[in-house]
Structure 1
Amino acid sequence: MALHQAGRLMEADGLYRQVLEADPSHSDALRLRGALAYQIGNPAAAVELLSAARKVDPDNPEVLTLLGLALEASGNAEGAEKAYRRALTLAPRSPEIWNNLGALLRDKGRQQDAAEAFGRAVVLKPDYVEAYQNLGVTLYRMGKLDASIAAFEAGLDVAPGDADMLLNYGVALSDAGRTREAAACYADVLEKAPDDPDALTNLAAAQMRMEDLAGAEETARRALSLAPDSAGAMANLAMVLAAGRHFEEAEGLYHDALREAPDFADIWGNYGNLLMAADRLEDADVAYSKAAKLDPAEPRHAFQLGLCRLNQGDLRKGWALYESRIDCGASVPVETPKAPRWQGDALPGKSLLIVPEQGLGDEIRMLSCLTDAVGAAGDGATVTVGCDARLAPLIRRSFPKVRTVSREAASAHKADFSIPCASLPNLFRRNLGEFPDRAGYLRADPALVETMAERVAALGGGVKVGIAWRSGLMRVRTQAALTAIAQWEPILSVPGVTFLNLQYGDVDAELAGRPVSVLDDVDLRNDLEAAAALTACCDLVINMGTSVGDMAGALGVPCWSLLLKPDWVTLGADRHPFYPNTKVFWRMPDEDWPAVLSRVAEALAATA
């Protein structure tokens, strides 16, 4: 035992063997030699020795625990669970056995049972750092981010400098949208271990989410220099480069990463994202399909494949795969009382709730299917639309047969049937021929439009053009998909045009000195009735594919949308199927925005 504890394992094993030659049923020698066999990576021998020890000493929880570990290592998960559970009947307050059982259950995919086991371990031993780590990771895998974060925080209270705990805590914070806090965790790890490739890789991802592509690239390159054969480090740098539209170098890195890890589904999925951004849709389809085949349980791959199919104009398969948006968290429907999913059939005397789930622009776009939904539900059906409260007056005016309920109230609204809002196209828009060719389906308040028209007329003559040059959402995609107002000088220099601001938010500093009229008393973000009336007074709206363009399209106002090619909302067409009065100006993968804005300025000059 002294040699064993000193790490002189072969000498210790020789002495244990001598003891067992003299006394084959010596329980301590069987137990300790079995533990040593497990320790040096010989689980088969460990199982044999510990099974013999159990026969000699059947009620020893330590023997049963070691046997469980050996059985688990040899691939006998069922036998290991039995051994752990038997040990717990003998020592139910052992945190170590609960922790071992939890690890086994987690590896078997029984996450809820594993979380309960780890929970028991930390209750029994409040300073058990390993169990807090295991509990946090398990809750994270279950998608319970708040609980996962709380577990990591409890563990860090016990061991504030634990690098593994900090790293996993950062990952959970990042997924919860607390990116700056996550970056601080990774920085803490790097203070203690400046060359930790995992911390560097995660920090690069956080920097990318914070729109710091230059910092993310520097960090990702450092991570790769420290782990040049790491597929993860290669793929991480490739993802950063792709976000900056450096497609050629990024693709080379993805190829290298896939040579190292050809069965890594996430790398295939991210490679598909690059190919999609480069408008290589058939190649992207292959990559997404590979990811989905390698990891069929991950809904994100099906969702990405669905967007690719929609981009290719394959609406039937695309909308079906688009249903995965909910499972992968790309869309979060309001939780409502359970009701059967509506399949588009008539509902005489029944009620239907259309469940809100996405942002304002998406919500406006999907309302284009509302007339079809009301018609399919038929006379005698009650159709209620859960929606952003700002949209409710517009919806009620435009669809008199429809009731509305706010997002908050929708969570308690009972109906006979329900359907998420963005699932309506899967029922009513399965090919481009099913899109109506009429322009507009929302009606602004006529009295407000009349008042607003007088104000707009007083601003000046010529064509009235509303503009919006960015989004309120900040994400990596915005660097490539959105513009700054300074880039719009060629457009704002077109004569014979009165420009109106439709960009919500604080824009005074951006518009200072520019020929754009701002109606200061119109709250474009919160008063959608006024925003719709002002939009309806425009002869043309120019936007970057934001909710401003959706509002214009839904009102039937002529609109020009400037989009990165490809954009799935056009469903593989060069026009905008949802909005017949909307013209698309594409930014091709090898272009920059000034080239597109120059084309728009030329078109506007001709129109004016």
Structure 2
Amino acid sequence: MATIAEALLAALDHHQAGRMNEAATLYGRILDADPEQPDAAQLLGVLLAQANQPAEGRRFLRRAAVLRPGSAETQSNLAGVLRLLGEAGAAEAAYRRALRIAPLLADAHANRAGALRALARPDEAARSAERALALDPAHAEGLVNHADADVALGRAAAGEAGARRALAVQGGLAAAWMVLGSAFSLTNRWDEAEPAYRKAVDLNPRYGEAWENWGALLAKLGRFAEALAAFDQAEALRPGALLCVTRGIAKLAMARPLEAVADFDRALAARPNDAGLHWNRGFAQLLAGNWAEGWPEIDWRRFEVNTALPWRAFPQPTWRGEDLAGRRILLYAEQGFGDTLQFVRYAPLVAARGGRVLLEVQPPLVSLLSGLPGVERVFARGGPLPEFDLECPLMSLPRAFGTAVDSVPPAPYLTPDPARVRRWRERIGAGPGETARPGPGTGPETGRGLRVGLVWAGNPRFQGDRLRSPRLDGMLPVLGVPGVRFFGLQMGPGRADLGLVPGFADFTDLGPEIADFTDTAAIMANLDLVISSCTGPAHLAGALGVPLWVMLPFSPDWRWLLEREDSPWYPTARLFRQRRVGDWAEVATRVARALQGWG
């Protein structure tokens, strides 16, 4: 009769040869004969994890850890199974126990980095991976986990380089392809990210995180059916709140806000105090037109810690809409120029409630907003604050006033500076309506035509700017409309497009002459129409009451709602929506056709 040692060697031979059933049977018989045999318990736990039975594997590895508490290998194997089960905290603790026993165990350092990444501790993850690489510079897991931490820290180039080094060591490492895809996604290189994610799932069809990331990217690319199929695969492999969040965000990209709400609700059932989840749920409700449900959720943004936005905490209470009785209230900008321009309409209404309004805004907006009725003082963000009794960020004012789709405070509510209007009239020609549009067969040499301002790009630091900005080449069909004088109002990095598109005789770039938003407002007052992407100048045109056409992506920002050509925020606005993700040419063709028949 074979001894336990001989049976163990036979079982291990089966295991290493891939004969899993035979190995599992022998390990089980050994444990029947000796329930305290630590090697059999450990190896059966590893085998079960490899056979996609991680919960059973955990049971045997825990038994092995009790039987052999001083084994770093056992603790490291247990940690690996705990990671498979999504128990990142317990996995990280097990890796630490392994490293207390064997501080020079490169595998444990490398894999602990992966657990730390799952715990959203990328700085520590990078340090743990660095320790692994100091022990073994060609450690594939160490390289890929360091690259993953780099991506989490926003270091896309370093993440890409690290993933490529890992692939040079082990070309079939699915995790390296997944990290490479994430590095590409971080810099909007979606056409390169998609095949990288596909390679990851081809190499490891049970790689749930890669399926999830691939699904999110496919949604951005407008490949919705494929995205949903990828999420189904991910859910089968790693169900849970995190997947619901990713899929909910993807449903927003698909312009399916109520389906997104359902996913966010599932995630909130597990994480009811997650501020970011509430914030996303609020955006979905607002996009669906359910503003009464959306505004309270949006206020959770003030408790979100995983954001670069400088949320403010004041000792003064937040105003909720009650009578102010002469108290001083600080209203302040917190996000982009467009948000400030959209919600500053509420400042005079706050004054009408009896408040002494102090308005803090971005420095380029101070001059423009200084004439708002009822506002006691307008000052730039970043300087010392005056004394005040109450505070309210501008974006929380719609909730305070109970704003619904049919009760938006009306526009226009901003007025351009008369002196600058006169100066810009001299620069660009007569104001709106002062010359007739030329008839058929006439051109700029015989008629002055419509004056149309163009804005084609937003802030590239905004995460969704690639989707929302048509860029100048996306507006080329508009620029080809005859008998129209176009004026470029674009500021910022989007001006780089001017060197990449053909010149047009009837196009004048005013960007270098614009000092601030007060200049832009004065220019708009001299135009017949502004055509813009979803960015700050669009809100400025709407706030001034200038005719405005907005080119919108397939899934727009919440404020534009869905399936309508008008806007409750801006009565002079007409909305031109993408019918397919990324297809700006079709949108621009419709805009050009409308422009030919307008006026």
TM-score (norm: length of structure 1): 0.74
Task: Report 1:23-34 matches (<5 A).
Answer: none
Q: Aligned match of 1:432 in 397, 401, 405?
A: 405
- Verify the 8 A CA contact 1:34 1:45 in the aligned structure 2: no
| 1:126–1:264 CA distance, 2 compared to 1 (3 A) | closer
Residue aligning to 2:549: 560
Measured after TM superposition, the shift of residue 297 of structure 1 is: 4.8
Q: Distance in 2 between matches of 1:366 and 1:168?
A: 43
Q: Aligned match of 2:470 in 464, 471, 483?
A: 483
5+ residue gaps, structure 1: 12-32, 51-61, 74-103
Measured after TM superposition, the shift of residue 521 of structure 1 is: 4.0
Residue aligning to 1:513: 503
Residue aligning to 2:433: none
- Verify the 8 A CA contact 1:288 1:301 in the aligned structure 2: yes
Q: Distance in 2 between matches of 1:192 and 1:557?
A: 60
1:203 partner amino acid: L
Measured after TM superposition, the shift of residue 584 of structure 1 is: 0.9
SS in structure 2 of the partner of residue 432 of structure 1: coil
Measured after TM superposition, the shift of residue 148 of structure 1 is: 6.4
Q: Does 1:227 align with 2:204?
A: yes
- Verify the 8 A CA contact 1:315 1:571 in the aligned structure 2: no
Measured after TM superposition, the shift of residue 401 of structure 1 is: 2.0
Mean CA deviation greater in 199-208 or 344-353? 344-353
Q: Aligned match of 2:222 in 234, 245, 258?
A: 245
Residue aligning to 2:190: 213
Residue aligning to 1:457: 429
Task: Report 1:130-145 matches (<5 A).
Answer: none
Measured after TM superposition, the shift of residue 210 of structure 1 is: 1.7
Task: Report 1:298-447 matches (<5 A).
Answer: 298-326=274-302, 327=304, 329=306, 332-348=309-325, 350-376=327-353, 378-379=354-355, 381=356, 383-399=357-373, 401-409=375-383, 415-437=388-410, 439-447=411-419
| 1:186–1:428 CA distance, 2 compared to 1 (3 A) | farther
1:496-536 CA distances to partner (integer Å, 9 max, x unpaired)? Answer: 3211101113344145522311136414xx62222222222
Q: Distance in 2 between matches of 1:583 and 1:312?
A: 19
Measured after TM superposition, the shift of residue 391 of structure 1 is: 0.9
Residue aligning to 1:538: 527
Measured after TM superposition, the shift of residue 142 of structure 1 is: 7.6
- Verify the 8 A CA contact 1:570 1:576 in the aligned structure 2: yes
SS in structure 1 of the partner of residue 586 of structure 2: helix
- Verify the 8 A CA contact 2:348 2:372 in the aligned structure 1: no
| 1:396–1:139 CA distance, 2 compared to 1 (3 A) | farther
Mean CA deviation greater in 250-259 or 578-587? 250-259
Measured after TM superposition, the shift of residue 400 of structure 1 is: 5.4
Residue aligning to 2:54: none
1:469-519 CA distances to partner (integer Å, 9 max, x unpaired)? Answer: 222316774444332423433322323321110111334414552231113
| 1:150–1:254 CA distance, 2 compared to 1 (3 A) | closer
Residue aligning to 1:576: 567
1:169-219 CA distances to partner (integer Å, 9 max, x unpaired)? Answer: 433433333222222222222222222212211211221222222211111
- Verify the 8 A CA contact 2:110 2:128 in the aligned structure 1: yes
- Verify the 8 A CA contact 2:554 2:582 in the aligned structure 1: no
| 1:257–1:452 CA distance, 2 compared to 1 (3 A) | same
| 1:170–1:478 CA distance, 2 compared to 1 (3 A) | same
| 1:223–1:146 CA distance, 2 compared to 1 (3 A) | closer
| 1:35–1:482 CA distance, 2 compared to 1 (3 A) | same
Q: Distance in 1 between matches of 2:131 and 2:216?
A: 33
Q: Distance in 2 between matches of 1:336 and 1:245?
A: 39
Residue aligning to 2:23: none
- Verify the 8 A CA contact 2:194 2:218 in the aligned structure 1: yes
5+ residue gaps, structure 2: 12-35, 46-59, 80-86, 431-443
1:3-54 CA distances to partner (integer Å, 9 max, x unpaired)? Answer: x9xx98999xxxxxxxxxxxxxxxxxxxxx898798566578679879xxxx
- Verify the 8 A CA contact 1:268 1:288 in the aligned structure 2: yes
| 1:607–1:228 CA distance, 2 compared to 1 (3 A) | same
Residue aligning to 2:52: none
Q: Distance in 2 between matches of 1:384 and 1:150?
A: 46
Measured after TM superposition, the shift of residue 223 of structure 1 is: 0.6
SS in structure 1 of the partner of residue 316 of structure 2: coil
Measured after TM superposition, the shift of residue 368 of structure 1 is: 2.5
Mean CA deviation greater in 127-136 or 464-473? 127-136
Q: Does 1:279 align with 2:269?
A: no
1:301 partner amino acid: L
2:178 partner amino acid: T
SS in structure 1 of the partner of residue 491 of structure 2: coil
- Verify the 8 A CA contact 2:88 2:115 in the aligned structure 1: no
- Verify the 8 A CA contact 1:543 1:562 in the aligned structure 2: yes
1:175 partner amino acid: A
Residue aligning to 2:590: 599
Measured after TM superposition, the shift of residue 165 of structure 1 is: 4.4
SS in structure 2 of the partner of residue 323 of structure 1: helix
Residue aligning to 1:492: 479
| 1:46–1:223 CA distance, 2 compared to 1 (3 A) | closer
| 1:592–1:194 CA distance, 2 compared to 1 (3 A) | same
- Verify the 8 A CA contact 1:242 1:250 in the aligned structure 2: yes
Measured after TM superposition, the shift of residue 224 of structure 1 is: 1.0
- Verify the 8 A CA contact 2:460 2:466 in the aligned structure 1: no
SS in structure 2 of the partner of residue 541 of structure 1: strand
SS in structure 2 of the partner of residue 189 of structure 1: helix
SS in structure 2 of the partner of residue 353 of structure 1: strand
Aligned pairs, number: 529
- Verify the 8 A CA contact 2:154 2:186 in the aligned structure 1: no
Q: Distance in 1 between matches of 2:368 and 2:325?
A: 26
Q: Distance in 1 between matches of 2:109 and 2:539?
A: 47
Measured after TM superposition, the shift of residue 248 of structure 1 is: 2.2
- Verify the 8 A CA contact 1:500 1:518 in the aligned structure 2: yes
Residue aligning to 1:174: 151
Mean CA deviation greater in 284-293 or 239-248? 284-293
1:289-337 CA distances to partner (integer Å, 9 max, x unpaired)? Answer: 3333344454443333222211111001112222333416467234455
Residue aligning to 1:448: 420
SS in structure 2 of the partner of residue 607 of structure 1: coil
Q: Distance in 1 between matches of 2:205 and 2:118?
A: 28
| 1:226–1:45 CA distance, 2 compared to 1 (3 A) | closer
SS in structure 2 of the partner of residue 585 of structure 1: strand
Q: Aligned match of 1:588 in 570, 579, 586?
A: 579
- Verify the 8 A CA contact 2:208 2:233 in the aligned structure 1: yes
Q: Does 1:502 align with 2:479?
A: no
| 1:162–1:431 CA distance, 2 compared to 1 (3 A) | same
SS in structure 2 of the partner of residue 569 of structure 1: helix
Q: Does 1:269 align with 2:256?
A: no
